[in-house]
Amino acid sequence: MNNRARSWVSGVVRRQYFWGIVGILVLLMLNTIKKPDYLAITMNPATGNLAGNLIDILRAAAPILMIAIGMALVIATGGIDLSVGSLMVVAGAVSMEFLKAAGDASSVGAMLGALGLALALSGILGAVNGVLVSVVGLQPFVTTLVMMLAGRGVAKVITSGQNTSASNDPFRWIANGYLFGLPAVFLIAIAIVVLVSLVVRRSALGLMIEAIGINPQASRMAGVKPRGLIISVYTIGGVLAGIAGVFAVSSAMTVDVSRTGYQIELDAILAVVIGGTALIGGKFSLGGATVGAMLIATLDKTVVFLGVSSSATPAFKAAVIIVICLLQSKRVRTFISRRRARGTPPPRPVEPLPVRKEEVPA
């Protein structure tokens, strides 16, 4: 290996989300060991659509991908959004009710109306989060916790507590349709990720989000107005949660008011952390959040595929995630590289981690 290639490889390895990619590959390998043709992809000769386990993973990844991107931005400002799952179910509920009332199962107009209504409502609720955090000055954790409870309540009010179903083919296509042989929902999700990344990085939004996340006081002194920024970020998070809600309910054309989006905020926070964004805010990586979301989706599918009993699922998931977090941790990595630098000696008693001298403030 020549030097340039080596430095490129070590650059990739040093990326926070490198271990997320490794995690995805290892999970896929496990599945392949269980069933050698796990990775096989077949093409439906009539439609040209691809099918297979990988394709299923892509389709399943779409909602969590949306939530993770929004969460990464919110966390970068030094906040957190626990209400995303509830905003999903609000969006799902309002779109199902609208389509049910519209009745016409082939109307594109009804589909657009449902979509617009869902995104507008989830965006407004996200903006409410933002106002409470930045104008009223409530803690993000408390604000969005309240919204998490209130949102699911609002969804139940919208559907009168029922799991509303509706039929509308254009809306159903969002989750079940294909474009260029791939699931449309995944392509839409990736397009939105690219769009958000462009908006954030091409405008000065990303810079300012990072600035207030790293040092809010200094940012204010530099003339950054945190209020509008924070409201925008929570609003974007709300709209993305609304899109995730539409993705989630359009596959079966039913909103399950108690299950849709349930606990997805925890998955999203994990995806963001695996992607290398620190929970204290500051520098963020949307690419990393994407990798994290793909890992969560792969993990969910693997758990089902390996037949892990449903009671053991949370424990299995937790075990995988803790291993990845350990591999990312600076201490563990220094420890490993130090051992590797010593050559791989015959097994020795494990040495305790070196105690680092407390850093003295300058």
Q: Which two tokens stand for residue 356?
A: 């680092």
Judged by CB under 8 A, which of 32, 165, 215, 254 binds another protein? Answer: 215
- Shortest reach from residue 298's CB to another protein, in Å: 31
DSSP bridge partners of 261: none
Judged by CB under 8 A, which of 208, 241, 274, 320 binds another protein? Answer: 208
Listed in sequence order, the residues at least 6 apart from 59 whose beta carbon sits closer than 8 Å to its beta carbon are 175, 183, 185, 186
Task: For 41, list phi and psi in degrees, rounded to 5.
Answer: -120, 130
- Shortest reach from residue 200's CB to another protein, in Å: 9
Total residues binding another protein (CB under 8 A): 25
| Contact between residue 262 and residue 67 where contact means Cβ atoms under 8 Å apart | no
Counting other chains too, the contacts that 265-268 makes at CB distance below 8 Å and 24 or more residues apart are 265/67, 265/71, 265/81, 265/82, 265/83, 265/84, 265/85, 265/148, 267/64, 267/67, 267/68, 267/296, 268/64, 268/67, 268/68, 268/70, 268/71, 268/84, 268/293
- Shortest reach from residue 332's CB to another protein, in Å: 22
Judged by CB under 8 A, which of 4, 202, 348, 356 binds another protein? Answer: 202
d(CA 243, CA 241): 5
| Contact between residue 129 and residue 240 where contact means Cβ atoms under 8 Å apart | no
d(CA 212, CA 224): 8
Judged by CB under 8 A, which of 10, 217, 311, 344 binds another protein? Answer: 217
User: Which amino acid does the sequence have at 112?
Assistant: L
DSSP bridge partners of 241: none
x/- letters, 158..197, toward another protein (CB under 8 A): ----------------------------------------
Contacting range for another protein; rule: CB under 8 A; set: 84-92, 184-192, 203-211, 323-331:
203-211
Q: Which residue's CB is nearer to another protein, number 112 or number 218? A: 218
Contact between 11 and another protein by CB under 8 A: the answer reads: no
Contacting range for another protein; rule: CB under 8 A; set: 14-22, 55-63, 198-206, 286-294:
198-206
Residues 321-333: b if buried by 16+ CB within 10 A, e if exposed: beebeeebeeeee
Contact between 15 and another protein by CB under 8 A: the answer reads: no
Listed in sequence order, the residues at least 6 apart from 280 whose beta carbon sits closer than 8 Å to its beta carbon are 78, 213
Q: Which two tokens stand for residue 54?
A: 């990988």
Contact between 45 and another protein by CB under 8 A: the answer reads: no
Contact between 218 and another protein by CB under 8 A: the answer reads: yes
Contact between 5 and another protein by CB under 8 A: the answer reads: no
Contact between 293 and another protein by CB under 8 A: the answer reads: no
Judged by CB under 8 A, which of 205, 306, 308, 325 binds another protein? Answer: 205
Contact between 219 and another protein by CB under 8 A: the answer reads: yes
- Shortest reach from residue 79's CB to another protein, in Å: 17
x/- letters, 221..260, toward another protein (CB under 8 A): xxxxx---x-------------------------------
d(CA 45, CA 47): 6
Contact between 312 and another protein by CB under 8 A: the answer reads: no
The C-alpha angle with vertex 178 and arms to 177 and 179, in degrees rounded to 5, equals: 135
Q: Which residue's CB is nearer to another protein, number 85 or number 281? A: 281
Q: Identify the DSSP state of 346.
A: S
Q: Which residue's CB is nearer to another protein, number 212 or number 321? A: 212
Q: Which residues bind another protein (CB under 8 A)?
A: 202-205, 207-208, 210-211, 214-215, 217-225, 229, 282-283, 360-362
